Structure 1
Amino acid sequence: MPKTKNLGIDLTPPAEVALAAEKGLALRRKYKRGGTNVGVARARDLKGRKSLSTQTIKRMVYFFQRHEIDKQAENFGNEDDPSAGYVAWLLWGGDPGRAWAEKLAAEIKASEGKPKDG
């Protein structure tokens, strides 16, 4: 079970993250490229604004760190002929998803270091 209740942190994706994931799903359907089954599952959770686990937030941070290089590829950000990396980036919430995950990861780390009440 996610530690969210103990930490008191809302792990529900914001609307802009949900929209980026939805856009990624649409581009993947249209162009038949980008992302893995894990990325598609993540996009569905983000689009549905499902509360995520702390582990999933950490996985998002790692995804964006690993895939920063994809932004240098040809057609990254091109909506008419998107690179596979651009589609994958969106599936994980795009730039808003990265900012949100990094902010939450810092909050989670800070909260985990505090003594628990009781």
Structure 2
Amino acid sequence: MADEHKPTKKMAANAEKGLKLRDKFDRGGTEVGVKRAKQIADGGPMSDADVKSMHSYFARHKVDKDTKAHSWGDDNDPSAGYIAWLLWGGDEGRDWAERQREKIGD
């Protein structure tokens, strides 16, 4: 099916890590982000609409890397933005969404 995109194993690992950090620190991500993380961790498949949603998320949230509260990339005191970013597949998810979005066009 042309409208299916399969997330990578690294994206799945990032999503799983995000879910664990969210449980541990009780911050980061929304219910939408948690749902997306579970979808990625389960290996998809993801629709064109999912890809467009991910592409939009990463475009809106790249500014979260500049946070001063807690730390980006720190597993001992992660920022809410870092946890949310992982839920969406992390940097690999961003790169993947960009590649998939280009294939979709429009």
The TM-score bracket by the shorter chain reads: over 0.9
Task: Kindly indicate whether residue 52 of structure 2 is the aligned counterpart of residue 76 of structure 1.
Answer: no
Task: Kindly indicate whether residue 57 of structure 2 is the aligned counterpart of residue 63 of structure 1.
Answer: yes
* Counterpart pick for 2:28 among 34, 41, 63: 34
Deviation at 1:48, TM superposition (A): 0.5
Aligned partners of 2:24 and 2:75: how far apart in 1? 11
Report the TM-score, using the length of structure 2 for normalisation: 0.94
Structure 1 runs (4+) greater than 6 angstroms displaced? none
* Counterpart pick for 2:82 among 77, 82, 86: 86
Q: CA RMSD in A?
A: 1.2
Structure 1: gaps (5+ residues): 113-118
Corresponding position of 2:40: 46
Report the TM-score, using the length of structure 1 for normalisation: 0.84
Identity %: 46
Structure 2: gaps (5+ residues): none
